Amino acid sequence: MAAEGKSKRGFSAMSEQQQKAIASEGGKAAHAKGTAHEFDSEEASEAGRKGGEAVSQDRAHMAEIGSEGGRARGGLQASGSARGGSREQHAKAGAESRKNR
């Protein structure tokens, strides 16, 4: 519980750049010493799976990223297809397809 006017100490008093620099040094030292944890491919796969499951539980978030993807692709065409081409091109292709049956 932080009271108002309480001064920051330690990491919280440092800038984000200073915090990153210190953390980086700690990581380098742990790797040099041989005590740093390194994920193998199985652990990394499991961590990714768990993260994906966790984020997919947030339906609002999933809907938003789906909408972003749709906007990035230009949304649906007038014909309702996301594959591209105009309504006329789709109609012509459909007519050609029916003609070849």
pLDDT tens digits, 9-22 = 888 899 999 999 99
For residue 90 the two structure tokens come to: 């789709």
CA distance 75 to 63: 14
pLDDT in tens, 19-66: 999 999 999 999 899 888 888 999 999 999 998 888 888 888 888 888
By C-alpha distance, which of 78, 53, 57, 75 is closest to 66? 75
Angstrom distances, CA of residue 17 to CA of 10, 14, 62: 14, 8, 32
Distance (Å, whole) CA 25 – CA 32: 10
pTM of the model: 0.35
